[in-house]
Amino acid sequence: MRLKKESTLLTVDVGNTNITFGVFEGTELKNSLRMMTGTPRTSDEYGLELSGILERTGTKISAIDGVIISSVVPGVMHALIGGIERYIKKDPMIVGPGLKTGIKITSENPREIGADRIVDAVGAYEKYGGPVLVMDFGTATTYDLVGAKGEFLAGITAPGIRISAKALWEDAAKLPEIEIKKPDSILAQNTVTSMQAGLVYGQIGQTEYIIKKVKEEAGLETMHTVATGGLGSIIAGETDSIEVYDRMLTLDGLRFIYEKNR
């Protein structure tokens, strides 16, 4: 008896800095790739670039069974969707009001919560259970609390490390553009390492304090703490307050939402 082929899903996360694409075969992430969000593209450019890269990295376009998109950048959506429809030959599912997520939004205005935060919340809750505080170290640094029954209880938003770094070198004439990494010591002895120390250790301190205050005010002695996002690995590796760093949490969240609505 021939086993049924696992479906192939293309997940798309449109962030402020990058567009991240993930290819799942069943529950397994087979491939991921990125494009810069800020580069203007037509629908043909999106379609040709994406289909070309997928084919070159082993994913046949004809094998893709579905597409799901989460976006916080409305300006790219018309061209991106057009490119996917024309070259991938699929009508993408868009994360937004009306889709089942398994997360109950209890905030004052549910529509104000970004699609990326909902997707991260779904990924963290489905993979690790609740209560869970999911932290995304991206363009902004976000902290979102999901309760034991899947309720979106609270969200905190702070400037991301790159935003803070950019403010330093753009608004202070004598400060240079630097690589964001943890220096060997917080006791910096030059301009570059002093900036790196302030940015990275400052983010670690912020993270530990916010986790502590969330536990206090939510009355939670224990909760899972899950980090994701491009710079999350730097922070997660330097504090015991973060339980797990999950680089592909957002793509997994998209897969869970697609499965709930298929």
Query: pLDDT tens-digit profile of 28-75?
Result: 999 999 999 999 999 999 999 999 999 999 999 999 999 999 999 999
Residue 143 β-bridge partners: 135, 156
Report the Cα–Cα distance between both ends of the chain, in Å, rounded: 26
- Can you give 209-236 as a three-state secondary structure string? HHHHHHHHHHCCCCCEEEEECCCHHHHH
**pLDDT for position 173:** 78
Question: What's CA 161's distance to the chain center, in Å?
Answer: 15
The answer to the question of residue 115 being in a domain is yes
The answer to the question of residue 260 being in a domain is no
Is 202 in a helix, a strand, or coil?
helix
The answer to the question of residue 99 being in a domain is no
Active site residues: 116
Overall residue count recorded for the chain in this entry: 262
Question: Structural domain of residue 246, as residue ranges?
Answer: 104-255
- Is 192 found in the same domain as 237? yes
**pLDDT for position 3:** 38
- Is 163 found in the same domain as 52? no
C-alpha 46/C-alpha 87 separation (Å) is: 9
- Kindly state the tokens that stand for 26: 């069943």
Token match 């893709």: residue? 64
* pLDDT block averages, 10 residues each, the chain of length 262: 68 94 95 93 97 94 96 96 97 93 81 89 96 94 96 94 90 86 92 94 96 96 94 93 96 97 90
**pLDDT for position 170:** 87
**pLDDT for position 4:** 47
pTM higher than the cut 0.85: yes
Radius of gyration of the chain (CA): 20
- Is 75 found in the same domain as 113? no
Neighbours of 236 (CB within 10 A): 25
- Is 247 found in the same domain as 121? yes
CA geometry: angle 214, 218, 221, nearest 5 deg = 85
Specify the CATH number for the domain of residue 121. 3.30.420.40
- Is 207 found in the same domain as 162? yes
- Kindly state the tokens that stand for 236: 């997660």
Q: For the chain, what is the domain count?
A: 2
- Is 89 found in the same domain as 110? no
- Is 120 found in the same domain as 144? yes
Q: Which of 54, 73, 94 is the last residue of a domain?
A: 94
DSSP assignment letter at 150: S
- Is 89 found in the same domain as 112? no
Q: Which of 94, 120, 152 is the last residue of a domain?
A: 94
DSSP assignment letter at 83: H
The answer to the question of residue 3 being in a domain is no
- Is 163 found in the same domain as 140? yes
**pLDDT for position 1:** 36
Cβ atoms of residues 174 and 164 within 8 Å: no
- Is 171 found in the same domain as 120? yes
**pLDDT for position 5:** 59
- Is 201 found in the same domain as 118? yes
**pLDDT for position 72:** 93
- Is 109 found in the same domain as 84? no
Q: Which of 46, 75, 94 is the last residue of a domain?
A: 94
C-alpha 63/C-alpha 6 separation (Å) is: 10
